[in-house]
């Protein structure tokens, strides 16, 4: 019989213990955290699927490179390695390090946008939307209709609706659209990929109207592997070649190295426009740091330089995509409503179908996430009405899988806990806000049971 089990392509060299708690304790922790899982102490969480951002395990090669970090203020050797590594995949002429993705967003939008402008994207992530809005511009989500229906199967649910992009440009005028963005993969829409064909079509529209196209590239390696698996003509290409081709369609990118950079911190901003790059660097110096470190230590730059190359390795990506699908497919087979097909970095429970008796304004996703914590000490995150307010098209609970961190038995445990909660879904109660901050409210909001 052919051997087909896809295994973790690593062995574990260093471990971090995790801590069991009793249900009665978790009830208290949850009340003290006002039903907002961001407000828990991480030590009170057993399996932490809050995010895949900065929470992965680094390789021996990354730890080795960290020892070689050059902490020179200017012209650091680590910056050169970082820049060369980024350019070998992304190909853009200017590479500006930042402390994480949102810093790259803030700098990009501060330089390029003004009040009244519009930024089309397949779907803005929370920080991206907030940074667009912070400069008085409007963030418009143009994902294809299939991308808004959780149960519907489509190989590239992250695709942008190209006709809607054309219509938006015609409606508001090219002068009000300083850039278009494509988020690969589409995090807020279920970790779903964008096809090369779609990126090519979006790029063609942008070129026709002379609008720069920027990628929100956080999970570009996972997106590349989906293209290899699902798009005709890419089976024999490497994820690196696919990524290179995709980035060649754009003019730059923002990147959080905490995702497919395989690092615990870091990000960067790329552009082929030298004039913009100069303005961006001036802003960088004001708030992040000198352009050869951008708020990062030299050792962080080293970790990213190595991590980016590991993220495009096929053995890694095969395991990564298969292990997320393992979780998603098991839940799906039990009839539990999830965004189908499973995403690259996460599985998203469809809370509106899971707890249909809870209205959107009673935060079904937050209520479900709280129940998963009570049942099994699992921390997840709502991506829905608490995060996006009325702009939310879906109420999802994301189970994000940190890279190279949990084993299959951890995931088997997660499957059992979700199944248990599914069995008692009728008893889950809605929530109401008792405190809400003026923006990015999901991070610090407080709630109580209705």
Cβ atoms within 10 A of the Cβ of 404, count? 20
Place of tokens 């809370």: 351
- Whose CA is closest to 99, among 297, 383, 325, 251? 297
- Span from 61-69, 124-132, 139-147, 285-293 in contact with ligand F0G (CB under 6 A): 124-132
**Contact string 35-54 vs ligand F0G (x = CB under 6 A):** ----------------x-x-
Looking only at residues 199 through 218 of this chain, which bind ligand F0G when binding is defined by CB under 6 A? Answer: 216, 218
Beta bridge pairs of residue 98: 267
- 69, 97, 101, 150: which one contacts ligand F0G (CB under 6 A)? 101
Query: Is the Cβ of residue 216 or residue 300 nearer to ligand F0G in the bound state?
Result: 216
Rounded (10°) angle between helices 239-248 and 77-90: 90
CA distance linking residue 83 with residue 419, whole number of Å: 45
How do 118-121 and 180-183 pair as beta strands?
A: unpaired
CA distance linking residue 360 with residue 343, whole number of Å: 23
Q: How far apart are the first and last CA of the chain?
A: 55
183 counts as binding ligand F0G under rule CB under 6 A: yes
Looking only at residues 125 through 154 of this chain, which bind ligand F0G when binding is defined by CB under 6 A? Answer: 125, 127-128
**Contact string 163-182 vs ligand F0G (x = CB under 6 A):** --------------------
CB of 371 to ligand F0G, least distance (A): 20
- 102, 129, 330, 403: which one contacts ligand F0G (CB under 6 A)? 102
- Span from 96-104, 156-164, 277-285, 326-334 in contact with ligand F0G (CB under 6 A): 96-104
Residue nearest to ligand F0G (CB): 101
H or E, element range at 318 = helix 314-333
256 counts as binding ligand F0G under rule CB under 6 A: yes
CB of 413 to ligand F0G, least distance (A): 21
H or E, element range at 226 = helix 220-230
Peptide bond into 393 cis (omega under 30): no
CA distance linking residue 305 with residue 268, whole number of Å: 12
Q: By rule CB under 6 A, what count of residues binds ligand F0G?
A: 15
Contacting residues toward ligand F0G, per CB under 6 A: 51, 53, 100-102, 125, 127-128, 183, 187, 216, 218, 256, 258, 267
């Amino acid at each position: 019989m052919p051997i087909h089990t896809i295994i973790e392509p690593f062995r574990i060299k260093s471990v971090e213990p995790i801590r069991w708690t009793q249900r009665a304790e978790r009830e208290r922790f949850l009340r003290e955290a006002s039903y907002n899982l961001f407000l828990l102490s991480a030590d009170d969480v057993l399996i932490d699927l809050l995010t895949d951002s900065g929470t992965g395990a680094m390789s021996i090669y990354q730890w080795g490179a960290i020892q070689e970090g050059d902490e020179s203020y200017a012209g650091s050797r680590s910056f050169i390695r970082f820049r060369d590594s980024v350019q070998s995949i992304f190909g853009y002429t200017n590479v500006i390090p930042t402390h994480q993705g949102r810093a790259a967003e803030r700098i990009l939008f501060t330089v390029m946008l003004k009040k009244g402008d519009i930024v089309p994207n397949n779907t803005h992530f929370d920080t991206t939307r907030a940074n667009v809005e912070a400069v008085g511009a409007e963030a418009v989500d143009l994902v294809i209709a299939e991308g808004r229906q959780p149960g519907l199967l489509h190989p590239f649910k992250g695709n942008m609706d190209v006709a809607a992009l054309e219509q938006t440009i015609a409606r508001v005028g090219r002068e009000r659209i300083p850039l278009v963005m494509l988020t690969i993969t589409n995090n807020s829409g279920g970790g779903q990929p964008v096809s090369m064909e779609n990126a090519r079509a979006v790029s063609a529209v942008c070129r026709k109207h002379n609008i720069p196209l920027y990628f929100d590239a956080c999970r570009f390696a996972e997106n590349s592997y989906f293209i290899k698996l699902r798009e005709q003509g890419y089976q024999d290409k490497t994820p690196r070649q696919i990524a290179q081709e995709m980035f060649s369609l754009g003019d730059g990118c923002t990147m959080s190295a905490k995702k497919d950079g395989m690092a615990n911190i870091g990000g960067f901003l790329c552009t082929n426009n030298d004039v913009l790059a100069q303005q961006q660097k001036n802003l960088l110096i004001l708030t992040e740091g000198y352009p050869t470190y951008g708020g990062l230590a030299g050792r962080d730059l080293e970790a990213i330089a190595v991590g980016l190359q590991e993220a495009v390795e096929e053995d890694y990506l095969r395991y990564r995509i298969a292990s997320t699908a393992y979780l998603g497919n098991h839940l799906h087979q039990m009839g539990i409503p999830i965004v189908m097909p499973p995403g690259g970095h996460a599985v998203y429970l469809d809370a509106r179908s899971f707890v249909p008796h809870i209205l959107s304004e009673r935060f079904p996703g937050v209520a479900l996430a709280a129940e998963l914590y009570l049942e099994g000490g699992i921390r997840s995150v709502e991506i829905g009405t608490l995060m996006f307010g009325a702009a939310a098209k879906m109420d999802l609970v994301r189970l994000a899988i940190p890279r190279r961190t949990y084993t299959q038995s951890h995931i088997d445990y997660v499957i059992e806990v979700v199944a248990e909660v599914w069995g008692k879904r009728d008893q889950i109660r809605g929530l109401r806000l008792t405190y809400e901050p003026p923006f990015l409210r999901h991070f610090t909001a407080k709630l109580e049971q209705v």
